[in-house]
Amino acid sequence: MSNDTTCTNRPDSVVRPNCVVISLGEMTLKGRNYNRFRNRLVKNASAVLRAHGISWRLKPIYNRLVVEIPESEADGTLDAAPGEEKTRLGRCLTALARVPGIVGTSPRLRIRQHQFLTSDKQIRYELLEEPLIRIAQEVHEPGLEFVVRVNRADRWIKGTSQQIERRLGRTVIERTGWEKVNLKKPGRTFYVDLHTEGAYIGVRKNPGIGGLPVGTSGHVMSLLSGGIDSPVASFLMIKRGCRTDFVHFTADPVNLRMQPEENKIVRMVRQLSEYAGEASLWVIPETQFDLALLGSDTPYKLLLFRRFMTRCAERLAQRGGGAALVVGDSLGQVASQTLENVISNSSALDIPILRPLIGYDKDEIVHTARRIGTYDLSIEAYKDCCAMIARKARTRSTHAQLQELEDELLPNYEEVIARSIADATVVDFELGKIKQVTDASARNRDAEDEEASEDGEGAADTTVATPHAPIGRRTQ
């Protein structure tokens, strides 16, 4: 049941928001593709809310989304913010703050159009002023200055936004404890949005992460190290709407299989899946590469290993429909990330390597890592494969030079890749939770059995399957 009203609460009670307005940002500029982006965001946001035990209806209204709060479950305030876990509204705002595509959220009191407008679009000011006065009294702080901001989205409504702001602001001063308006730096802003279907009154806008809904920008495979940079690079691609799976190379595969919940990389991807939704992590032992180069003292070993990792990731991406790889390179940050080495690494592949951090400095990366919750995990002690393979890397290399070394030292290159992937452990995630842990060989057998079954039934499409299938074969 909806509680759209000017004032259903008792005079001595707190004004409860009856909806949350979601701002969409650049999505609204997508023209004919807007509905596709909006529908994906509705699906993603609804799934996130359900995962947090919230079954409120979410519906699109023009260039925004509205979450409708049932009257029986209205337990927050208009000043609610993400992180307030004691109320349903607080949990709702916390969940939505991690959904790519959402620019901001704002708890609002909605008043239906027929309640505050006459048939000829004249405003019944008393029906707007009554709830606004109560709200202003609730949030009043002595000494603070305020402003009323009106967004008159329906241009048929009589009066300009500035005229409506002046009238409502004057009413707040005359009938509450607020004494002064400050147009430039107010201590409190009262938001009044006037739309075709109703008026929305609020006092807080909570920022979201922005970007585009996950699932609207294709599928990528991100290589994760144990450091600070690669999780941030992954987040930036998730934020741009990419469905993202992960690859990590480990020197300790046994520990992962015995205690996956305690593994640093697993916990890192679990955090990233709060933003990504569904994700798979392929953890590949570096053993096969190490054995293949046993006895070699080439100074290019680390650069050869980086090319090997990206080639393994490329095979997984190609198997699952991934269009590109993602790495956390920042130009010149370490010896292996000079321009020459970046180019020689990219030249080894048939698909592109995306480097979202290429122009970032370390402080910018650390700032983002703290904001998304991966920094503390990244600085935990960990056996990093690259450090174990070689302590130092050559600062300059060419593709031809490294290709010649690979032909000499790794004549059975494809076999080493295949054995490494076959030895992998795969961890599936959904919205911050581990769904299952399997080994790659069992996963591939299940996929082959499934494909054989589908072929027997005359199935036409084998590119989409259940979460138990290999990467990139998830139900849309």
Domain-wise residue ranges, the chain: 19-207, 219-441
pLDDT attached to residue 118: 81
Exposed, middle or buried, 262 (CB in 10 Å: 0-12/13-18/19+)?
exposed
As a whole number of angstroms, the distance between CA 278 and CA 247 comes to 15
As a whole number of angstroms, the distance between CA 249 and CA 282 comes to 8
As a whole number of angstroms, the distance between CA 137 and CA 145 comes to 13
CA angle 416, 417, 418 (to 5 degrees): 90
Which segments of the chain have a pLDDT < 50? 1-2, 6-12, 459-476
Q: At 266, which helix (H) or strand (E)?
A: helix 264-276
Q: What is the DSSP code (8-state) at residue 248?
A: E
The amino acid that residue 26 corresponds to is E
pLDDT attached to residue 22: 97
As a whole number of angstroms, the distance between CA 237 and CA 233 comes to 7
pLDDT attached to residue 165: 95
Nearest to 427 by CA among 417, 439, 419: 439
DSSP strand E in 91-131: where? Answer: 104-112
Instruction: Return the CATH fold of 19-207.
Output: VC0802-like (3.30.2130)
pLDDT attached to residue 254: 76
As a whole number of angstroms, the distance between CA 73 and CA 39 comes to 26
Contact by Cβ (8 Å): 307, 402: yes
Instruction: Return the CATH fold of 219-441.
Output: Rossmann fold (3.40.50)
pLDDT attached to residue 296: 86
Write down how long the chain is.
476
pLDDT attached to residue 62: 81
Q: What is the largest CA-CA distance in the chain?
A: 87
CA angle 87, 89, 94 (to 5 degrees): 95
Q: Which residues contact 81 (CB under 8 A, 6 or more apart)?
A: 90, 93, 204, 206
Note the pLDDT tens digit of each residue in 352-399: 999 999 999 999 999 999 999 999 999 998 877 766 666 677 899 999
Q: What is the DSSP code string of 409-434?
A: H-TTHHHHHHHHHHT-EEEEEETTEE
As a whole number of angstroms, the distance between CA 93 and CA 345 comes to 42
